[in-house]
């Protein structure tokens, strides 16, 4: 294989630049987090643990090997917030913000990279979209910060409540899943609290819908129409949340360690929260180590599907899953085309959805098998953690802190691949492909 392209930076494709940018941010973040000032005790964090934490923060996952609330100092927690924002919005989006502030023109090459990072099919209006992304994101985070600060101020001093509000607003909107309540508790103290639940779920959903959908929704009053992409994302998101909440409510209703000990209000809040958070958020209001095995497995499915394209979340994405479901339904009905909202889906989109799903499934299976070989842990826990890492979810059943150094490295690679997407990573690391000059004759094989 020819690796000459590695040194020819000027000719790098947008996927290679994006992968390299994320890798550089992770390495810088790991270096800073390993410094004494980042820890509450002034001790250096082991570099592997610092690298794991930086990867989890930049890839907005939320899996941790040390307790964020007690181990890191305020300065260290601020560093994590910066990594959330860079990882969630994308380093190219933040670089564009700097360029816009200094009124620097965005070049064609930079627009191509932005198109790739935002998962868009065209460069048209990409800079305008970035402006909206920044405006909407900061506005939503500010609203979350104010609501969290108001609620937390009843339980702690105002200054501390403000910092907690800012940290969790940025973490949840970017679907990072980190918390600073200590003892790996996440939001379990507020399992029945309406303000915290509504605020947290709204931040997670808005962060996971994707910036194109948010733009469509906020301009609906003026345009009076939604794009096909937004309709599909909203329909599948609502379906997954509704089914997820119902399934979790049924499975855990009599479990005394989860829903069984809550009143009806708490049961409903917790059911919806646990249905929304596998969409790559990582926060939780129930103890995941106490969930029944059926619930854990169902959560794995939700984590694998993940959020929507162009969002802060991971997974194979809701649109990919929708195309797969549509293909199955069309095949059962004997129809040639997949149709959503009276629009026929192009075959290349279906092929891309299948490719993403198979690559993602292969990654999760391989990681699970390797971890099952080197780690002495129950299989379901390993599968859960591997899927959580791939989907950049951050939910955990307690396995991550117990992993060996090799296990941590494997999970790091999985988080990195999950954040960027297996297809983007394949494009970035591959030597490039030449256009086919001919087509082979069509053949037929028996299926099923």
Task: Please report which confidence band the pLDDT of residue 210 belongs to, taking 50, 70 and 90 as the band edges.
Answer: confident
Taking the C-alpha atoms of residue 252 and residue 245, their distance in angstroms, rounded to an integer, is 11
pLDDT of the residue at 86: 84
CA 432 to the chain's CA centroid = 27
Task: Please report which confidence band the pLDDT of residue 7 belongs to, taking 50, 70 and 90 as the band edges.
Answer: very low
Instruction: Tell how strand 339-340 and strand 343-344 pair up.
Output: antiparallel
Listed residue (237, 91, 59, 207) closest to 140, CA to CA: 207
Run of H or E including 171 = helix 158-173
Q: Which pLDDT tens digit goes with each residue over 43-89?
A: 899 999 999 999 999 888 888 999 998 999 999 999 999 998 888 77
Give the residue carrying structure tokens 């997949």. 338
Residue 104 has pLDDT above 80, yes or no: no
- Within 125-192, strands assigned E span none
The stretches of 219-276 forming alpha helices (DSSP H) are: 220-223, 228-252, 264-276
Q: Which pLDDT tens digit goes with each residue over 232-244?
A: 999 999 999 999 9
pLDDT of the residue at 3: 46
Average pLDDT on 351-379 reads 92
Q: Could you please report the per-residue DSSP string of 338-362?
A: -EETTEEPPHHHHHHHHHHHHHHHH
Q: Are 325 and 401 in contact (CB under 8 A)?
A: no
Enter the DSSP assignment of 430.
Answer: S
**324 against 313, higher pLDDT:** 324
39: three-class secondary structure by DSSP: strand
Enter the DSSP assignment of 153.
Answer: T
pLDDT of the residue at 123: 55
Lowest-pLDDT range of 90-94, 217-221, 354-358, 375-379: 90-94
Strand-pairing partners, residue 339, are 344
First to last CA, the chain: 37
**310 against 57, higher pLDDT:** 57
The residue length of the chain stands at 448
pLDDT of the residue at 300: 95
Task: Please report which confidence band the pLDDT of residue 125 belongs to, taking 50, 70 and 90 as the band edges.
Answer: low
Taking the C-alpha atoms of residue 79 and residue 360, their distance in angstroms, rounded to an integer, is 30
pLDDT of the residue at 444: 65
Q: Which residues contact 86 (CB under 8 A, 6 or more apart)?
A: 25, 58, 94
Q: What pTM, to 2 d.p., does this model score?
A: 0.87
Lowest-pLDDT range of 88-92, 156-160, 332-336: 88-92
Helix 228-252 to helix 264-276 angle (10° resolution) is: 130
pLDDT of the residue at 5: 41
pLDDT of the residue at 6: 46
pLDDT of the residue at 294: 94
Lowest-pLDDT range of 33-37, 181-185, 232-236, 440-444: 440-444
Q: Which pLDDT tens digit goes with each residue over 128-167?
A: 667 777 788 889 999 999 999 999 999 999 999 999 999 9
Secondary structure tally for the chain: helices H, strands E: 19, 2
Average pLDDT on 389-406 reads 89
pLDDT of the residue at 73: 93
Average pLDDT, the chain: 83
């Amino acid at each position: 294989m020819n690796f000459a392209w590695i040194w020819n930076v000027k000719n790098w494709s947008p996927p290679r630049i994006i992968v390299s940018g994320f890798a550089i941010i992770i390495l810088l973040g790991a270096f800073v987090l390993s410094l004494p000032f980042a820890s509450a005790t002034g001790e250096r964090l082991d570099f592997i643990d610092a690298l794991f934490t930086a990867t989890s923060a930049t890839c907005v996952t939320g899996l941790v090997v040390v307790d964020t609330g007690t181990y890191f100092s305020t300065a260290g927690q601020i560093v994590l917030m910066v990594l959330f924002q860079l990882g969630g919005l994308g380093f190219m989006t933040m670089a564009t913000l700097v360029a816009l502030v200094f009124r620097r023109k965005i070049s064609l090459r930079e627009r191509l990279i932005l198109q790739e990072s935002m998962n868009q099919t065209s460069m048209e209006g990409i800079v305008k979209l970035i402006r909206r992304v920044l405006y909407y994101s900061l506005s939503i985070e500010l609203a979350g910060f104010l609501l969290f600060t108001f609620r937390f101020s009843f339980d702690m001093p105002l200054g501390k409540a403000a910092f907690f509000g800012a940290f969790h607003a940025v973490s949840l909107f970017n679907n990072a899943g980190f918390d600073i309540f200590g003892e790996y508790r996440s939001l379990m103290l507020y399992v029945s609290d309406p303000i915290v639940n509504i605020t947290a779920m709204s931040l997670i959903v808005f962060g996971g819908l994707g910036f194109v959908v948010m733009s469509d929704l906020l301009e609906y009053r003026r345009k009076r129409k939604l794009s096909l992409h937004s309709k599909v994302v909203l329909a599948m998101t609502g379906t997954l949340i509704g089914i997820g909440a119902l399934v979790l409510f049924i499975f855990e209703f009599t479990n005394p360690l989860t829903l069984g000990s809550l009143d009806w209000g708490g049961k409903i809040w917790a059911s919806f929260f646990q249905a929304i958070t596998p969409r790559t958020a990582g926060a939780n209001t129930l103890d995941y180590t106490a969930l029944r095995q059926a619930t854990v497995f169902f959560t794995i499915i939700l984590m694998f599907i993940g959020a929507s394209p162009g969002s802060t979340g991971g997974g194979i994405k809701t649109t990919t899953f929708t195309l797969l479901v549509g293909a199955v339904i069309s095949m059962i009905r004997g129809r040639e085309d997949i149709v959503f909202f009276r629009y026929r889906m192009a075959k290349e989109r279906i092929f891309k959805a299948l490719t993403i799903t198979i690559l993602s499934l292969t990654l999760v299976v391989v990681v699970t098998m390797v971890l099952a070989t080197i780690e002495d842990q129950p299989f379901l826990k390993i599968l859960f953690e591997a899927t959580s890492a791939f989907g950049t979810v951050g939910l955990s059943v307690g396995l991550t802190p117990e992993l060996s150094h090799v296990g941590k490295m494997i999970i790091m690679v999985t988080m990195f691949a999950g954040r960027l997407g297996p297809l983007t990573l394949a494009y970035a690391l591959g030597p490039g492909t030449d256009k086919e000059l001919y087509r082979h004759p069509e053949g037929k094989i028996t299926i099923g």
